[in-house]
Structure 1
Amino acid sequence: MDAATVNDLPDLSLFDTFPKLLQLHARNHPDEVALRVKDLGIWHSLNWREYQTRVKTFALGLHHFGIGRGAVVALIGDNRPDWVCGEIAAHAVGAMSLGMYRDALDEELAFLITYSGARAVFAEDEEQVDKLLALGDRIGTVKLIVYSDPRGMRKHTDPRLISVTELMHHGDAVASEYPALYDELVAATKGEDVAVLCTTSGTTANPKLAMLPAGRIIRHCASYLGVDPKGPRDEYVSVLPLPWIMEQVYVLGKALLSRMTVNFVEETETMMSDFREVGPTFVLFAPRVWEQIAADVRARIMDASPLKRRLYDYGMKLGLDALDKGKRSWLADLLLFKALRDRLGFTNLRSAATGGAALGPETFRFFMAMGVPLRQLYGQTETLGAYTIHAAGDVNFDTVGKPFDSAVEVKIDNPDHNGVGEIVTRHPNMFAGYFGTEAASADLRDGWMHTGDAGYFDKSGHLVVIDRIKDIATTSLGDRFSPQYIENKLKFSPYVAEAVILGDQREHLAAMICIRFPIVSKWAEKNRISFTTYTDLASRPEVYEMIRCEVETVNKTLPDAQRIRKFLLLYKELDADDGELTRTRKVRRSVIAEKYGTIIDAIYGGRPSIDVDTTIAYQDGTKQRIRTVLKVVDLAPGDTAPAFPKRAA
């Protein structure tokens, strides 16, 4: 196959699968760096030829073990080149890949593996292998477990276990006996065959598995590149979980189309330092990461000298004032932002994005004022990720931009008198249905994907996403509000990690707040406040008073009916392992309502404090009994803020 290109992209009618694109680049750009990974402090690069060779031997190794068309190959671990190689190798033999979150618990893994019927699993290291082996006969479909890191593996004797090195030896043996086999396997792959099984968010139950054909991913990524171009000189750092649809889009789809270099950090703890070493030209972070970075910046300023704090405050004021006028402040850049971008690794950024959930306007403004070219994305797993984005120079903090191109149709279904209704969409490259069931495809009607999100179009044609329709709440007095909107405002505070807004069918709004422990603990130490644990710190009156100030600051920006009247600080952080959050950090409101029902009733019952005696389980199996008293802070109503249109909240 020759590389016929249109707009510098391969001919998508010929190169319609990931193995075909990889084969093309290995032939035409063999020595160009494709992947880079940091290990033991040293960056190691794989060029396109080495990338192709590793995928080929993986694929032929899978073929040796009878993994082929129609099979499912699962993958679990950190973002690493072997994950990507294993995924493309699965596609090369006609199998489907299924990414599983590295921190998934036993029940989640058992469900995904048995439901999909996965026959092979790429597991990065001992931690992941131990999880799989502990499931025993519950994952009886699994015949092969491939691990990359051999440390700690000598104690295991399970016959299903094999190292990546052994897998490659088998692959090399197959290649020696049948030299043309890999090329034949790749040529047999088809763009309309399902290649990726991608888990949905699962905010209410077990996730569904969206079936994504490779050709549709590739064509949709080509549309995406039309509004956010990338090329061989671009550097991307992969830090979001690879099972997430948007990381699949960037690390596989867009990288294999544009040949941008994908970098993998050494550890989660070294992410920002590794990020700075790369100096990427593009970054995609989930809202929780942008919120954490903003919180860390503000926390560092607390430890700075009085002069530096004044310079920071002055620079931020200049930057935000200029941003409100659609401009940039050269003085703010000189005093603050240039050094700040360098410290964070943002110096070379030409494009930055956030997606997966709503990002609070205050956090958005913070980075835009800094000079980070941040844009909001919106989409779903079923739509192959994002399909709207802000155009450069047309960024509105309260919206998610416009559709990629004319092929993407978005409309508001059953709008009310304010134009608010359910967001529905369709485009030529959506998912092929849900794996294993027809009934679960009810959200797809007449070719239109019903997102379950409430939204409207503003006067400039931008799409505004309010919240999940089922989550939009109404007080007993008839005032509608979006919990997510208010929660995002609270999370701009460096001291607030998570918040859950209550008030549906109640007289007023209340909040359950989780403190951001690393920053609040630093604040406590600086103010000589003694504490032992998270629970102890969250119960301190000084912490309550500090959080009270943060809540009152948010209240001033809200209409009177949507202000928080009461709040308390939870005795623990919300955790995906406890089912309180999804793996992409979205609140599971039904779980919260059930699990903390007694506390919620006590808040609205007028009690000034709530006794808690409970046990929490940690991931390592240990348990801890917690006995504490939660103080309910009653905020006196303040002056009425200018009323916002109800549809915008």
Structure 2
Amino acid sequence: MTVHREISGSKIKWDAGANHAAAVQANDTLPKMLLANAKAYPNDVAQREKDFGIWNEITWGKFNSHVKNMALAFDQLGVKQGDVVAIIGDNRPEWVWGEIAAHTVKAMSLGIYREALEEEIAYLVDYAKPKVVVAEDEEQVDKFLELGDRIPSIEKIIYHDPRGMKKYDDPRLIFLADLEKMGEEAAAKNPGRYEELVAATQTDDVAVLCTTSGTTSNPKLAMWKHSAFLGHAVNYLRADPMGAGDEYLAVLPLSWVMEQMYSVAWNLVARMIVNFPEEEETAMSDLREIGPHFVLLSPRVWEVVAADIRARMMESSPWKQTIFDWGVKAGISAVERGERSQAAELILFRALRDRLGFSRLKSAATGGAAMGPDTFKFFQAMGVPLKQLYGQTEGLGAYTIHKWDDIDHDTVGFPMNDCTIKIRNADDEGMGEIIVNHPNLMTGYYKNTDDTDEAFDQDGNFLTGDAGYLNDKNHLVVVDRIKDLSETSKGIKFSPQFIENKLKFSTFVAEAVILGKDQPYISAMICIRYPIVSKWAEQRRIAFTTYTDLASRPEIYELLRKEVEAVNEHLPEAQRIKKFVLLYKELDADDGELTRTKKVRRGVIADKYADIIGKIYSDDTHVDIDTVIAFQDGTKQRIKTSLKVQRLDDKSAMEGSMAS
């Protein structure tokens, strides 16, 4: 291995005022941190949950009481070190209580995405062999009961929403209130047992199992020790300081590594108040009510917010549209000069931030996938203090971030404290594989020593599999997955992800998949953003019935053709999109086309849509589709349609490519 360049976060001055190392050193496990907070700040608010329109407060004392009761009940049920407690459902306080209760009895917690289907759950249960499951409600409980005797390791299924549960008589089922009563009775018999359990937890015990994204295969389970979980929170808080009383809304799934960092680690270490939305669908309106000091949204959510803003402007008066277009243009132009447009701030952006619930933001972040620089600049222009993060589940989430005084829209910033990033096997332009080392990397993959060995080099560096380079300012630039970097049959190298992000800045594009590997030119499969495109169509009295029908309309093809051509103007000639089709359905994680964190599974796409791809790279002008779509509720729908293969203006160049 040859290392081209490297940078260490220890050489970068981060905010020492946010260093919570002393508290973590004194309380070096999650249960110890919780107990310490409960003793020192029993009446301070730790969590809130919105229920029936009312925000209910949970103090540190109550938080600890719930965990105590659950932990003592787990102890009574025989949950012990080496066991696994699985948790599934929406973001709820009960999720966090169950997680830390599991850690208190030295068991490991495993978060499962709420949208996971039965086969995904069967795989994870067979892999991790959980003894206990904490499931939110009837919907989640049903997934386990339907698996029958395929999940013999599960002895108890605990639910915390009793609606619809009276019809079940499975002996494994326990209502959370009854479980906590069991814990209260145990505490009455042995008042010191909880403190004994907490004191017995060890900082080097594995506490959390977290699923990897699984872009190419079934997810693996990364193992995190208490020391890594809390230690990385300390380093992160040095780079992006938060403190007691700062508000946060838990929008993203608690099974994801980054939500774990904020809703669990930052909550315990910085005493940041975590607010849980009423429903996934109400999250953005709940965000406006809370007005958080910090927010983490995935690039997909930021893209949806930006698209929704533009969609709302489509319904406004011509005068308001003119003001908006002027303000955005002025704001982005100022950002590109490293400034802020005060006129745009006064006339447009101040009110817009308030409308979105962003008025009190001290910091905002995006991570989990790449964000296009156009979307990034849009929010920066709006005055949202947005930073780009980079990392992997194996690295405990983010380990690079922008500094406040040095934000570059094309990069992911600098490594955090104690983190070193290297570029190995770089080409002549300095681009190679990104590798990382810091003291809080995963211990390894659970029950998977072979993949663990392959994930690290002989010096203990984690091999990310991502291509990137360090620019002249020592910012890390992430280009794409190494395996996804492509080359046309004409020898033109390109990054599919880079072009896809350009397309997704469009108000009308929900998802895009760039094609062209070993082909004569670059093409795209595009999914329309249905809520916005349908609104656009209704305003123009274009008749349609379904997503499939709308995506096939000639007016929609013309609309998207203009959007693709606008992107092409900012791409090198050889990397421009020559053809595209509008897919007859949205890409869906339930169909295996996306990961649960909304990353494209390119191998699945290549296999599933091979016929369409073949037609794109032929002389055919249409692709006939006759297929059946299965929905999560078990219903099916037959789709019979014809997709137009849209050629773009550069006909001569394309014909020359095809002829050769």
TM-score, length basis structure 2 = 0.95
CA distance in 2, matches of 1:639, 1:371: 44
Contact kept? 1:282, 1:352, Cα under 8 Å = yes
Match of 1:119 among 109, 131, 145: 131
* Partner residue, 1:504: 517
* Partner residue, 1:482: 495
Query: Aligned to 1:45, what secondary structure does the other structure show?
Result: strand
* Partner residue, 1:516: 529
* Partner residue, 2:66: 54
* Partner residue, 2:43: 31
Percent identity for Structure 1 against Structure 2: 58
* Partner residue, 1:166: 178
Query: Aligned to 1:12, what secondary structure does the other structure show?
Result: helix
Contact kept? 1:352, 1:375, Cα under 8 Å = yes
Give the Å deviation of 1:429: 1.2
Contact kept? 2:46, 2:272, Cα under 8 Å = yes
CA distance in 1, matches of 2:144, 2:616: 42
**Paired AA for residue 248 in structure 1:** Q
**After superposition, what is the alpha-carbon deviation per residue over 1:234-264, rounded to whole angstroms, capped at 9, x for unaligned?**
1010010001101111111111100010001
User: Is 1:576 equivalent to 2:589 in the alignment?
Assistant: yes
Counterparts in 2 of 1:541 and 1:576: CA distance versus 1, 3 Å: same
Match of 2:352 among 326, 340, 343: 340
CA distance in 2, matches of 1:338, 1:455: 36
Give the Å deviation of 1:302: 0.3
CA distance in 2, matches of 1:287, 1:605: 34
Give the Å deviation of 1:625: 0.6
**Paired AA for residue 496 in structure 1:** V
Counterparts in 2 of 1:602 and 1:639: CA distance versus 1, 3 Å: closer
Give the Å deviation of 1:639: 12
Match of 1:311 among 323, 326, 349: 323
Give the Å deviation of 1:329: 1.1
Query: Aligned to 1:13, what secondary structure does the other structure show?
Result: helix
Match of 2:563 among 529, 541, 550: 550
Match of 1:472 among 456, 481, 485: 485
Match of 1:210 among 216, 222, 226: 222
Match of 1:562 among 558, 565, 575: 575
Query: Aligned to 2:183, what secondary structure does the other structure show?
Result: helix
CA distance in 1, matches of 2:423, 2:441: 18
Q: Superposition pairs for residues 95-494 of structure 1, below 5 Å? A: 95-405=107-417, 407-441=418-452, 442-446=454-458, 447-494=460-507
Deviation >2 Å, runs of 4+: 5-14
Contact kept? 2:207, 2:226, Cα under 8 Å = yes
Q: How many residues align?
A: 635
Contact kept? 1:9, 1:258, Cα under 8 Å = no
**After superposition, what is the alpha-carbon deviation per residue over 1:43-85, rounded to whole angstroms, capped at 9, x for unaligned?**
0000100000000001111111111111000000000000000
Give the Å deviation of 1:9: 4.9
Query: Aligned to 1:210, what secondary structure does the other structure show?
Result: strand
CA distance in 2, matches of 1:531, 1:96: 51
Give the Å deviation of 1:637: 1.8
Contact kept? 2:551, 2:582, Cα under 8 Å = yes
* Partner residue, 1:645: none
Query: Aligned to 1:339, what secondary structure does the other structure show?
Result: helix
Give the Å deviation of 1:11: 3.4
Contact kept? 2:19, 2:238, Cα under 8 Å = no
**After superposition, what is the alpha-carbon deviation per residue over 1:256-290, rounded to whole angstroms, capped at 9, x for unaligned?**
10001000111122111110110000000000000
**After superposition, what is the alpha-carbon deviation per residue over 1:376-400, rounded to whole angstroms, capped at 9, x for unaligned?**
0000111111110000021111100
Which has the larger displacement, 312-321 or 408-417?
312-321
CA distance in 2, matches of 1:257, 1:146: 28
CA distance in 2, matches of 1:12, 1:259: 12
Of structures 1 and 2, the one with the larger relative CO (CA 8 A, separation 6+) is: 2
CA distance in 2, matches of 1:445, 1:317: 47
**After superposition, what is the alpha-carbon deviation per residue over 1:554-584, rounded to whole angstroms, capped at 9, x for unaligned?**
0000001110000000000000000000000
CA distance in 1, matches of 2:226, 2:528: 42
Query: Aligned to 1:394, what secondary structure does the other structure show?
Result: coil
* Partner residue, 2:642: 629
* Partner residue, 1:16: 28
**Paired AA for residue 528 in structure 1:** R
**Paired AA for residue 501 in structure 1:** I
Contact kept? 2:292, 2:361, Cα under 8 Å = yes
Give the Å deviation of 1:214: 1.2
Query: Aligned to 2:24, what secondary structure does the other structure show?
Result: coil
**Paired AA for residue 351 in structure 1:** S
Give the Å deviation of 1:638: 8.7
**After superposition, what is the alpha-carbon deviation per residue over 1:508-542, rounded to whole angstroms, capped at 9, x for unaligned?**
00000000111111111111001001000000000
Query: Aligned to 2:116, what secondary structure does the other structure show?
Result: coil
CA distance in 1, matches of 2:474, 2:267: 30
Counterparts in 2 of 1:30 and 1:532: CA distance versus 1, 3 Å: same
Counterparts in 2 of 1:6 and 1:552: CA distance versus 1, 3 Å: closer
Q: What is the RMSD of the two structures over their aligned residues, measured on CA atoms?
A: 1.2
Contact kept? 2:373, 2:410, Cα under 8 Å = yes
Query: Aligned to 1:625, what secondary structure does the other structure show?
Result: strand
**Paired AA for residue 435 in structure 1:** Y
Give the Å deviation of 1:126: 0.5
Give the Å deviation of 1:231: 0.3
Counterparts in 2 of 1:286 and 1:324: CA distance versus 1, 3 Å: same
Instruction: Give ranges in structure 1 of 5+ residues lacking alignment.
Output: 641-649
Give the Å deviation of 1:428: 1.0
**Paired AA for residue 433 in structure 1:** G
Query: Aligned to 1:20, what secondary structure does the other structure show?
Result: helix
Give the Å deviation of 1:6: 9.4
Contact kept? 2:24, 2:269, Cα under 8 Å = no
CA distance in 1, matches of 2:600, 2:229: 28
Give the Å deviation of 1:10: 3.9
